């Protein structure tokens, strides 16, 4: 059977491969400790679950939802943006709920790119930025994120010809996988650059609520004039421990939001309405759950940073996101280092090359690991380092 060329060109999804290797180990009876996928281990808050339980009893929530989401949810998202960022969004034109942000991230290039158009993708970066562009037939050009630039893209480094051919540029701060952050001055430069070249900025911002050391991340949409050229993906997943419920939002430029709305109306049947009512409860509810989450993640971050440095690894103490980005020891490549840890001590870390060629020399470790597993993982890593020494 002949499959479409677009699938032949796609490599296996990184986290699917990691999950397969973990399953193989566990089938052999090995207890694996994983610092792999950034999936919060903390539970969804009770008041949000209560909203789901009540909503599930409503007969109107047992039917097909609308693709554009409940008006009350769009309004609640707009209110959340106003409280959090001071941004006034039009819930009818500038807000669109999604079945998790991955749905929108993988499809937005279909709204913006014709076959052969250029999509600018950060390297290292979340793999779906690249895969979604390739499925749309776009030509992917990678924008390096380098340690010497604080893992921010050097927009002036992009060749003039490439910039003029580009239809979109992905940004993601706080960043996955590096944990880097961006301030308002960087976003101001990005907006000016996008206007100069008529490029749509797409900011993937699921980690703005995961921040440490009194750091408060900004939204790209806070920048004056940003909505002329920008949209932002946000999510309930990382802020409210709702990854399994699959609900997020696209906000910003009304033309792009409408394009995604039209696309969605043809490819899905919307978010179950009971889950939308959960999201309303999250958006309008207390923020103390976010503070509690961050206290837990910061404690884990500090513990993991100390342990990795004691092992001789070079690692920054990230101010945002759920990840640490650690340089591997000399004599390894990223995949080889990750494979050795899995084979020798049954600890999973994600090789940096899974996020692009500029991820070579690094591994990513997630903070979404229960405390007891974290301590066991650190014990095993110390054991590995002691034997190696």
Annotate 241-255 with b (16+ C-beta within 10 A) or e (fewer).
bbbebbbbbbbbbbe
Q: In the chain, how many domains are there?
A: 2
- Residues forming beta bridges with residue 97, ordered by sequence position: 249
Query: Over the stretch 214-253, which tens digit does the pLDDT of each residue have?
Result: 999 999 999 999 999 999 999 999 999 999 999 999 999 9
Query: Over the stretch 290-340, which tens digit does the pLDDT of each residue have?
Result: 999 999 999 999 999 999 999 889 999 999 999 999 999 999 999 999 989
Q: Which of 284, 314, 338 is the last residue of a domain?
A: 284
Other CB atoms within a 10 A radius of the CB of residue 282 amount to: 24
89 and 76, same structural domain? yes
Query: Over the stretch 184-198, which tens digit does the pLDDT of each residue have?
Result: 999 999 999 999 999
CA distance 126 to 107: 14
- The answer, yes or no, to whether residue 19 has pLDDT greater than 70, is yes
108 and 77, same structural domain? yes
From the number of C-beta atoms within 10 Å of its C-beta (0-12, 13-18, 19+), residue 385 rates as middle
Whether residue 108 contacts residue 260, with contact meaning beta carbons closer than 8 Å, is answered with yes
Q: Which residue has the higher pLDDT, 176 or 38?
A: 176
Query: Over the stretch 115-132, which tens digit does the pLDDT of each residue have?
Result: 999 999 999 999 999 999
- Give residues with Cβ within 8 angstroms of 186, minimum separation 6: 152, 173
252 and 352, same structural domain? no
325 and 277, same structural domain? no
Q: Which of 267, 284, 301 is the last residue of a domain?
A: 284
140 and 271, same structural domain? yes
205 and 124, same structural domain? yes
351 and 295, same structural domain? yes
From the number of C-beta atoms within 10 Å of its C-beta (0-12, 13-18, 19+), residue 1 rates as exposed
335 and 269, same structural domain? no
Give this prediction's pTM.
0.96
347 and 220, same structural domain? no
Query: Over the stretch 267-286, which tens digit does the pLDDT of each residue have?
Result: 999 999 999 999 999 999 99
Residue with tokens 């640490």, as numbered in its chain:
324
Lowest-pLDDT choice from 19-33, 77-91, 345-359: 19-33
Domain with 201 in it: 47-284
Q: How confident is the model at residue 53 (pLDDT cuts 50, 70, 90)?
A: very high
CATH of the domain at 40: 3.90.1150.10
Q: What pLDDT does 47 receive? A: 98
């Amino acid at each position: 059977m002949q499959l479409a060329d677009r699938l032949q060109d796609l490599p296996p999804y990184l986290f699917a491969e990691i999950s397969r290797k973990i399953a193989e180990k566990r089938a052999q009876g090995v207890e694996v400790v994983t610092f792999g996928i950034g999936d919060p281990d903390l539970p969804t808050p009770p008041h949000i679950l209560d909203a789901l339980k009540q909503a599930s009893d409503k007969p109107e929530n047992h039917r097909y939802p609308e693709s554009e989401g409940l008006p009350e949810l769009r309004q609640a998202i707009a209110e959340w943006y106003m409280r959090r960022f001071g941004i006034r969004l039009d819930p009818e034109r500038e807000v669109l709920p999604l079945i998790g942000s991955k749905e929108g991230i993988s499809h937005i290039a279909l709204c913006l790119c014709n076959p052969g158009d250029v999509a600018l993708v950060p390297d290292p970066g979340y793999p779906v930025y690249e895969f979604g562009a390739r499925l749309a037939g776009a030509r992917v050009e990678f924008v390096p994120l380098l340690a010497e630039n604080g893992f921010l893209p050097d927009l002036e480094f992009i060749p003039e010809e490439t910039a003029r051919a580009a239809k979109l540029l992905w940004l993601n701060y706080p960043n996955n996988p590096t944990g880097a952050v961006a301030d308002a001055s960087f976003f101001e430069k990005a907006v000016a650059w996008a206007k100069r070249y008529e490029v749509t900025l797409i900011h993937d911002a699921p980690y703005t609520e995961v921040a440490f050391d009194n750091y408060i991340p900004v939204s790209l949409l806070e920048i004056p004039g940003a909505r002329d050229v920008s949209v932002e993906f946000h999510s309930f997943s990382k802020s409210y421990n709702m990854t399994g419920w699959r609900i997020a939002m696209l906000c910003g430029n009304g033309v792009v939001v409408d394009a995604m709305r039209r696309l969605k109306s043809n490819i899905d049947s919307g978010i179950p309405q009971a889950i939308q009512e959960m999201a309303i409860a999250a958006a309008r509810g207390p923020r103390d759950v976010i503070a509690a989450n961050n206290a837990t993640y910061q404690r884990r971050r500090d513990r993991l940073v100390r342990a990795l440095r004691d092992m001789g690894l070079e690692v920054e103490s990230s101010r945002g996101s759920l990840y640490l980005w650690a340089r591997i020891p000399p004599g390894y490549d990223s995949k080889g280092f990750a494979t050795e840890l899995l084979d020798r001590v049954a600890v999973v870390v994600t090789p940096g090359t899974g996020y692009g060629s500029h991820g070579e020399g690094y591994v990513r470790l997630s903070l979404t690991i229960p405390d007891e597993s974290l301590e066991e993982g650190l014990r095993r890593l110390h054991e590995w380092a002691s034997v190696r020494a």
